[in-house]
Amino acid sequence: MTTLYPVQDVFTRGEISPRLHARASLDFYRAALARCENFVTLPHGGIRKRGGTYFAGEVKISAKRTRLIPFIFSADQAYALEFGDLYIRVYAYGARVGSVEVVSPYLEADLFDLAYVQSADQMWITHRDYPPKVLTRTAHTAWTLSDYAIDDGPYDDINNTATTLTPAAYGSFVPRMTSLTAPSGTVSSQNATADAWELFDKSSKTGSVISSGTGAWVQYRLASSARKVCNAYWVQANGAAAESQDMPTQWEVQGSNDGSTWVTIDSRQGQTGWAASERRYYEFFNKTAFEYLRWDAEGGGGPDSTNMSLAEWAPNEDGDLMMPFNLTASSTVGINGGTGFQTSDVGRAVRLFASDGRWRWAKIVSRTSTTIVTVRLYGHALPDLNPVSRWRLGTLVPGKYMEGGSLYEERLAFSRKFSVYASATGDFDNFALGEKDDDALEFIQAGGGQANDIVWIAESDGALLIGTSGGVRALSGSGIDEALTPTSFKNRRSRTFGCARIRPVDAGQSFLYVTRSRKSIAELTQTAQSRFTSDDVGQISEHIPKLGVVELAFQTDPDPLLWFPLENGELGGYTHQPSQEVRGMHRHRLGGGFGGSKWAVVESATATPGQNGNDDLWLVVKRTIGGVTRRTIEIKTVPFEYGAIADAFEVDCGLTYTGAAVTTVGGAAHLAGQSVDVLADGKVYRGLTVSGSGSVTLPAGSTASAKWQLGLPYAAGADTLELDVGGRDGSIIGRRKKVAKVMLSLLETDTTGLDVQSFMRGRWEPVRMPSIVAPDGRATLFTGNVEVPIDDSWEGQGRVRIRHVNPTPCTIRAFTPVFDAES
């Protein structure tokens, strides 16, 4: 027999699949464990008992599933939003924000299908079955959820049927005039021109000479002291080539409510080179309603400086304040699959291609019948009331609302089915398509010949990533470092896995996403401009994500960690630092239980920046307490390092008390009737019961304590693999071995809670170091090497189990099983 001392000082590959437990020849084998439960693999090589979870509050409706969504304004202002059945609550830095509660339309069954994208104090929330919403924070305790009012678009395909849509009004500030005073209001001009009303007769074939010189004004006054808001207009030159030269070259548009005090709301200069019958369109910002609207122009009259004239001046009326008018379809064909207009179309957009060759858009405000709706027109007034044959209905209807969202190059982008819709640059409410570089754009995902649904979109360096059920594609500008525009784009396929409808996370140098089966996690890495590849990061630990991934949350500080709730209630963890070859998975079972399970069920997880420089991991945890289901919001505490043992927090759903020295602490009503562990001024008390009122009392004769950490207990455990150090005649894997002892290298560890066990013998061997406990019974932390004798048999194969059960810290830097093996 030969005594062997194989050392394992690296655990960076975490818990590996049982399928690999005999693959000692693999490079990563000596950095892996057979089980890593409630331990976190560290980038430095060791494993550390995870921190506990701090109780932040119970969800509003414990009987129903709840989801957490991050709202991060900055590293100093971050929130966790509790999305429940028909409500939203707000948490920040360990506690609920006042009594903030926002009514929402989202049902319990739909919460985990919500997608969201945030910019500053606004978050856009989407779901295929709900109209898009905007959650806005105006102050720490002031939050509102409102409809996302999109200005124009996005739209379905252009109508290709014989159905026409006929408007009943122009959407104009001025009606179709037949004289200076008919049908309503009054047209007047500086020179009292008798035919000035022809500028408002909606006919490009007529016009008016409003001045015998180079300048004059013409105005319209609403009847009965009415007021309207104008924010756009168009102007048309006369049809005769010679008369088009008489167009003015500069002007002001002015408003008034008394006819004497005027406010300039728009001004233009350098308007030269008019062609016959040319129309020019102008928009400006104005929210003030006026009774009078005046066009004060100069620079007209042509080369001879006489007879300034034009054909039409068509100011619009702001659609938000417009009296709705009918839009009548010639048939139901082409509208909602041939069923015509429906009540669900209220709020839907309509695009109309008018006779002047320009698109307008309107919003449906009511439905009269399958062929008649009332609308408000936005943008420029119509040139006539002719039937419109080219039209598009808005794409946002029940069952077809947006499904995913992202920001990209100052655009707000959404996805739905096979399409991506991106707003105008810097204008998140404008989805009007165009050809200018900053216009909104629409992209149809072809999918390389496959009709794969888009399940998420995400911003990356140089590309908008499009995750589909068939793989990831990259949408970007057509050239290197070229912006994405309506006329410059490319769509590249990458060799990747199909994606699940779970939001991916940005892990710094790569993206992590869940594959279509929801049973593996892939890393998306950029290899070149707009080119990406994917690897299954959990392949060597495939048994963990195969339990079913629910969602992803990524912590950057203090260590790069991916967290993912699993369908069996466990919390999966993945230490991700690929630059240092650190890729280790671990599993976590939170204290407590649910139903027949021996651990609590983690249902949701999200990460936000914390106040101390570390990221907060927020969890929704489900337990059975007092015979009923209780869901709580908890924050995973930062790992213990380089501190006093009294500050260690190694319990779940726990609380901290700091104050006068006491023997009883209250405030734990959420754990009434439960058995809890307490660390009181560094002394360990296990198995204390929480009273019905939520108080915990130390055993009789105990010393009053000023610092308490109390909560549900959990144990951290690690099972080692069969190490192969090589025998005289080859590998010793599979040969009989008997472990005599284990040598552990520890860092800041309470050894009184540390036990070691042989795989073949059921007795746990404690670490016996009498001097490590202070005279007053308080635990102390040990750093250094310890030896633990093991009662083993010759069938043990050199494997051991390690556990730590106290509510105190434990970090294992290395272990060495000392065993005899068959030669």
Burial (CB < 10 A; 0-12, 13-18, 19+), residue 98, is exposed
Report d(CA 550, CA 321) in Å as an integer: 46
At residue 774, the 3 state secondary structure works out as coil
For residue 447, pLDDT over 60 is answered with no
Count helices and strands (H / E) in the chain: 1, 65
Band of pLDDT at residue 495, cut at 50, 70 and 90: confident
Q: Which residue has the higher pLDDT, 729 or 34?
A: 34
| pTM for this model (two decimals) | 0.88
At residue 770, the 3 state secondary structure works out as helix
Report the amino acid identity of residue 114.
Answer: L
Inter-residue contact 281 to 380 (CB < 8 Å)? yes
At residue 620, the 3 state secondary structure works out as strand
* Mean pLDDT estimate for the chain: 91
For residue 262, pLDDT over 60 is answered with yes
Q: State the sign of the Cα–Cα–Cα–Cα dihedral 207, 211, 216, 217.
A: negative
Condensed to tens digits (0 to 9), the pLDDT of residues 149-180 reads 888 888 888 999 999 999 999 999 999 999 99
Report d(CA 209, CA 215) in Å as an integer: 11
* Percent of the chain surpassing pLDDT 90: 72
451-465, 638-652, 655-669 — most confident range: 655-669
Distances in Å between the Cα of 481 and the Cα atoms of 21, 230, 422, 442, 525 are 47, 40, 19, 20, 18
pLDDT given for residue 233 in this prediction: 98
Report the amino acid identity of residue 511.
Answer: F
Report d(CA 385, CA 531) in Å as an integer: 51
Band of pLDDT at residue 822, cut at 50, 70 and 90: low
* Percent of the chain surpassing pLDDT 70: 94
Lookup result for tokens 């000692």:
24
Looking at residues 783-793, what average pLDDT do you find?
85
For residue 104, pLDDT over 70 is answered with yes
For the ranges 17-31, 224-238, 356-370, 481-495, the lowest mean pLDDT is seen at: 481-495
pLDDT given for residue 727 in this prediction: 53
Band of pLDDT at residue 7, cut at 50, 70 and 90: confident
For residue 762, pLDDT over 80 is answered with no
Give the phi and the psi of residue 537 in degrees, each rounded to 5.
-70, -20
Which residues sit opposite 606 in a β-bridge?
A: 618
Band of pLDDT at residue 737, cut at 50, 70 and 90: confident
Inter-residue contact 740 to 792 (CB < 8 Å)? yes
Nearest alpha-carbon partner for 609 in 535, 562, 652, 556: 556
pLDDT given for residue 725 in this prediction: 64
Please, what is the Cα angle at 301 between 299 and 303, to 5 degrees? 95
What's 579's DSSP letter?
G
Report d(CA 354, CA 385) in Å as an integer: 9
For residue 536, pLDDT over 70 is answered with yes
Q: Which residues contact 7 (CB under 8 A, 6 or more apart)?
A: 814, 815, 816
pLDDT given for residue 449 in this prediction: 58
Report d(CA 563, CA 554) in Å as an integer: 6
Beta strands 615-625 and 601-609, pairing class:
antiparallel
Band of pLDDT at residue 751, cut at 50, 70 and 90: very high
